[in-house]
Structure 1
Amino acid sequence: MDTRAALRALCASAALFIGLAQAAGSPPDFAAAEAGRAIAKVEEATQHAYDEALAALDAATKQAPGDIGLAVSRCRFLQFYGDPEGVRWISGAEDALASCTQQLRERWPNAPQVALFEMETLFGEEAATRGEALLKVADQWPAPPRRELLSQTSMGHEFNDNPERAGELALMAVRMGDVSRTGAAAQYLVNQKKLDEAADLLAKAAPSENPMDVAGRVKAALALPDPKAGLAELRRKPELMEYVDHEVAARAYLRAGDFASAQRVLKNVCIKCEATRSLKFEAAMGARDYAGAAKLVDLTDRPNFAGHLSRFATLAMAAPLTLVSPTMLPGLAICLAWLLLLLLAPGVVLVPAHYRGLARRLKGKVSEPMFPAIGLKRAWYGAAVALIVPMVVLMLVRPEAMADLFSGNAAASAQMFRAFLIAEITALVFVVPALVGMTRRQFLGDRTALRTWWIVLLMWGALIALGWVLAVVQTWMGVNLETAQTRMVAAMVEGGEELGGPMLTLLILALIGPVFEEVVFRGLMLGGLSRHISFGWANALQALGFAAMHDDPPRFLYYFAMGLFGGWLVKRTGSLAPTIALHVLNNAVAVGVLLGVG
């Protein structure tokens, strides 16, 4: 370093030291005083600029007194500074705004521009109500203000939690050229299952400058068949991506197979939120980050047990070695304990029945078995199959379905229906060995069984009457008739229709299911119990188990009656055919009604 440079550095250091010393020696209120003067200066400049702008607007309106647009612009300017709760509030602007608005009403009471300006001050229900009233008289409005009215009314309904009407009006606005409501319009079409129209609308729409609309477009695109549609919408306006919800953006990346980007987006998002945790798990699984996925499993989290169980099963199937990880070991122990409990559960009924049978035989009372080949061991086996096999198969085929079972929030899908179909068929195959020794007559019946067709119809009519009475009484009492069981059946019907149509839906829900349940309850359970206790008790116990298995409290008596009727038919005919016919008829009508409603 030369001499001049050294001297310059020394002088600069000295000046800095002197400046700091002077600042330290200033009065304590020096900084506050300077800040106050600066604020006052800015406020003075703001007031001066406001006065100049208002004077210019006043001069313009005097020169063109009939210009509605200019008059509205003056009021809108005052509105910007007239909000007492706003950051840019200026004294006097609020009173000036009230006067300006009153002048608009008096001079142009029916002008679209005035009506739209007044709507800008409304929100939610008020905006929706005012907009709907204007729509009734806006048929003769020019296209631009009518389009704006549709858009504003749509937003009012959206904030008033009326998405269907909001989407309907948004679609009308978009078809008139409004780009800002494309997301809401596309979501409306998606909800109406008009996916092709929604895809076409998004593809032809110009890019939006509205952050809310960009987010809405991405969300709507996620429901389209094209897995990359959401990502395409996300990338149309890169500068607005920060306004898109992190979870929505992550779903777009996940659907497109970009798991690394999904992990990046979710990195600092709430880990304790169940929805976010599921997305992080999906991203980790897609990226084959099994160690990271294992950290998102916690079966001790009781409020979110269903979601953790689904993640546990998914990870266990994909990477069995993770079962020894600290977070997975408790899950493994819980699952094994749960399976053991299900295996032993039939003993609660069957073990007492065995000892009751011993006591009856000591007194010389010998029960007449329904089916000589069926005993308590086979009854236990059949009940264990019914409790365990479907659950294990679902865990292997589609772990997500386990969350539906535990949460009761079944989502209709062809994949879920396929999983349940496999589970039912597998369970039916597993139960077949317990039926060895039963005769053809005990399955298909004979002429005696055929002659009971009128009894089957009579019992079916009684069940319908009972179901109607229960529904009327419980509705009158305010009982919620929707349960996890009814939601699951509705989802299964919709998923089956999506996968293979009505016939496949009827096959699984109205044939395979009833055959399996009748074999287990009226065949194995009733057959095993009737060897040891009286028919009355055996029939009541199997019917009780049948009703409990359906987990549908409002219709418990209905299922119990069906179980009793089925047991009585077996007793009368010595065959499973009539009770299977009753069950199939019942389920076929129920599924038919749901298919018709859908």
Structure 2
Amino acid sequence: MRMGKVAACLLALWVGGACAADRPDAEAAAGAVQAGKVAAYRDALSRFDAAQAAAPGDASIGVARCDFISRYTDSEYDWVESAPADYEACTQMLAKRWPASPDVALFELGNDWDGDALEKGEALLDAAKAWPKPQQAQLYASLAEHAEEDDKGDYALRAVELGDATQTAEAVTHLAGKQEYAKAQALLERTPPDDLDWRATRRVKAAMLLPDTQAAQREVERHARAGVEVYQDARVRALLRAGKPQAAQAAMANAPAQAASWRALRFDVAVAAKDWPTALAQVEQETEDFGTRLQRFVKLAGAHPASMAQPTMLGTAIVLLMVAMAMALAMGLVFVPVHYRGLARRLQHRASKSPFPRVTLWHTWYGVATIVVVQTFAALMLAPELLDGGELRGATMMRLASWSMIGSALFLLPMVPVFDRRALLGDRAIWRGTWKSIVGWWLVLLAITTVLGALYAGMDADTSTEQVRMVAAMADEARDAGGVLVTFGVIALLGPMVEEFVFRGLLLGGLSRHLDFKWANGIQAVAFACLHMDPPRFVFYLVMGLACGWLARRTGSVAPAFALHALNNAWAIGMMMAM
């Protein structure tokens, strides 16, 4: 019995030892895999070398060999110990053996990690004129990936024209930004569908920039027929753009409920489908980002005014009202020091003389608060995309400029009786005595514009601002839509009328009752220049403000200042529309 137990124990030990011997070791297994990979790597290099020996003049084989080796030089991803040295030797061989080969130049450009790939690529442009089209296209595609925004689109467009369809989205976006919509549409339609879902999605998003509301949906369908599925959010946006909100709702099935981007899309689809409860729920759920909540509030209130009765919407409306009141009161605080300065001057018997004696600081405060509050809330109501940093197009800018000025003019109507007819419209004597001054100041403003333009051109400075883009977009809109009279009416008449009434009538009139005229004129001119938010042309607006203030004091009327302002704006918009 005892011998049987011993035998059983020995048998168990033997079996256990045998199992332990058969159990794989992690380190040994990894070593075996690595050894196999090195052997396969060496075998592949041998095949490349054999192919090169058979075609010694084919640079593309040498490039493919170096490209293969480069895939095993990164220790964090895939690694063969000899690969870095092999890669260095391979690239040296390429440079020595085929120094003028397009394939070699493009390979070196694609593997330039020193940050000067753009400069090196642009240096190849002259030589690339003699390259085959596929290599030229590849060069322009590489430049598009490294270039700044101003040049990226041009390079992408050239790449597509040479046959590289991978840059289609960038090229279409570029053409749409230049409002060359017909060319962008034709380019999109003649390039074949992409074979990668992320690039297909970018093409759909680029198509949404075109006036054709069906373009994006056609891109989705083209890629679907080619077996490439566009990302779900882009598919939904394309349906929404095509005017199919119910289909967009159906396409949102299984979308993440809590993702912020999907909540925004769900809101837009609900508004388009007139699904007011769902839209209201998306407003209620946005509790962290007040800007996003405000944007949705504005959209929902505009689409469904009855929603304002809901507690969520009503609460946001109350907050907006309080913000408007705070902005207005803040404007009033600015004039408190002015009031006390005027009081001190009167005690010193240094009374100031205003060109508009009936204008008080109360009138001044009301006018400045009106133009600030009305224009701010007009932007919120008519262009809520600004809250997300969106870019406005010509039609939206025209609508925003028109309604903000109309709204300001309506709120300023109670201030009109403060001025007599002569102060508002002038008379024959005023016009006869000031028309030369108006023309003279206008020529001064033209000279300043010319000097600033030459100065910035010599410095190669970027002087594009929101003010410039807004006026340019409105000029393009007028030219494309035939709304020339409307554009001139807003920019050359309504805008100058409101601004002169506020700055030279109410602001200058109120300040000059309490301050020396030089100070009053300087303050209103600085405020006028700041309002335009155009730093590169600040000096221009400052001089215009000073000139208009001088005309107002000399004549006792805002009419000559309005004439100078209107003449300048009419000239500017006319020149832009003629370009």
Aligning the two structures, in what range does the TM-score lie when normalised by the shorter sequence?
Answer: 0.7 to 0.9
Counterparts of 1:415-494 in structure 2, within 5 Å, are 415-436=396-417, 439-449=420-430, 450-461=432-443, 485=467, 488-494=470-476
Query: Which residue matches 2:300?
Result: 315
Cα displacement string for residues 63-100 of structure 1 (whole angstroms, at most 9, x for unaligned residues): x3557379548725852665354755445555555556
User: Aligned with 2:222: secondary structure?
Assistant: coil
CA distance in 2 between partners of 1:195 and 1:516 (Å): 35
Change (3 A) 1:462 1:35: same
Equivalent of residue 516 in structure 1, options 483, 494, 498: 498
- 1:105 to partner: Cα distance: 5.8
Query: Which residue matches 2:384?
Result: 400
Q: Does 1:161 align with 2:151?
A: no
Equivalences, count: 557
Q: Does 1:267 align with 2:256?
A: yes
Change (3 A) 1:448 1:297: farther
Query: Which residue matches 1:237?
Result: 223
Q: Which moved more, 1:116-125 or 1:564-573?
A: 116-125
CA distance in 2 between partners of 1:332 and 1:512 (Å): 29
Aligned partner letter, 1:311: R
Counterparts of 1:12-23 in structure 2, within 5 Å, are none
CA contact (8 A) 1:297 1:327 kept: no
CA contact (8 A) 2:353 2:512 kept: yes
Equivalent of residue 371 in structure 2, options 376, 382, 386: 386
- 1:195 to partner: Cα distance: 2.4
Aligned partner letter, 2:317: L
CA distance in 2 between partners of 1:184 and 1:492 (Å): 25
CA contact (8 A) 2:122 2:143 kept: no
Change (3 A) 1:68 1:480: closer
CA distance in 1 between partners of 2:271 and 2:498 (Å): 36
CA distance in 2 between partners of 1:438 and 1:370 (Å): 11
Q: Does 1:285 align with 2:271?
A: yes
Equivalent of residue 134 in structure 2, options 143, 148, 154: 148
Query: Which residue matches 2:561?
Result: 579
CA contact (8 A) 1:484 1:552 kept: yes
Equivalent of residue 24 in structure 2, options 26, 29, 33: 33
Q: Could you list the runs of 5+ residues in structure 1 that have no partner in the other structure?
A: 1-21
CA distance in 1 between partners of 2:366 and 2:291 (Å): 27
User: Aligned with 1:237: secondary structure?
Assistant: helix
Aligned partner letter, 2:564: L
CA contact (8 A) 1:414 1:499 kept: no
Change (3 A) 1:423 1:107: closer
Change (3 A) 1:72 1:192: farther
CA distance in 2 between partners of 1:586 and 1:161 (Å): 37
Cα displacement string for residues 281-328 of structure 1 (whole angstroms, at most 9, x for unaligned residues): 434533532234314645x75xxx655543332233334566677865
Cα displacement string for residues 30-59 of structure 1 (whole angstroms, at most 9, x for unaligned residues): 898354554455445545555555555555
- 1:513 to partner: Cα distance: 1.0
Change (3 A) 1:470 1:155: closer
Cα displacement string for residues 357-415 of structure 1 (whole angstroms, at most 9, x for unaligned residues): 8999999999877557766665555445434444445544x1427649xx7x7634212
CA contact (8 A) 1:154 1:165 kept: no
Query: Which residue matches 1:337?
Result: 322
CA contact (8 A) 1:250 1:262 kept: yes
Query: Which residue matches 1:217?
Result: 203
- 1:241 to partner: Cα distance: 3.4
User: Aligned with 1:452: secondary structure?
Assistant: helix
Q: Which moved more, 1:338-347 or 1:450-459?
A: 338-347
Q: Which moved more, 1:247-256 or 1:359-368?
A: 359-368
Query: Which residue matches 1:15?
Result: none
Identity %: 35
Q: Which moved more, 1:162-171 or 1:446-455?
A: 162-171
Q: Could you list the runs of 5+ residues in structure 2 that have no partner in the other structure?
A: 1-12
Query: Which residue matches 1:75?
Result: 65
- 1:512 to partner: Cα distance: 1.1
Q: Which moved more, 1:311-320 or 1:532-541?
A: 532-541
- 1:431 to partner: Cα distance: 2.8
Q: Does 1:507 align with 2:493?
A: no
Query: Which residue matches 1:414?
Result: 395
Change (3 A) 1:437 1:212: closer
CA contact (8 A) 1:547 1:563 kept: yes
Q: TM-score, normalised by structure 1?
A: 0.72
Q: TM-score, normalised by structure 2?
A: 0.74
CA distance in 2 between partners of 1:420 and 1:278 (Å): 27
CA distance in 2 between partners of 1:517 and 1:554 (Å): 20
User: Aligned with 2:402: secondary structure?
Assistant: helix
Q: Which moved more, 1:507-516 or 1:356-365?
A: 356-365
CA distance in 2 between partners of 1:264 and 1:120 (Å): 41
Change (3 A) 1:207 1:481: closer
User: Aligned with 2:73: secondary structure?
Assistant: coil
- 1:515 to partner: Cα distance: 1.1
CA contact (8 A) 1:374 1:528 kept: yes
CA contact (8 A) 1:174 1:185 kept: yes
Q: Which moved more, 1:167-176 or 1:150-159?
A: 167-176
- 1:263 to partner: Cα distance: 5.0
User: Aligned with 2:137: secondary structure?
Assistant: helix
CA distance in 2 between partners of 1:124 and 1:187 (Å): 29
CA RMSD, Structure 1 to Structure 2 (Å): 5.1
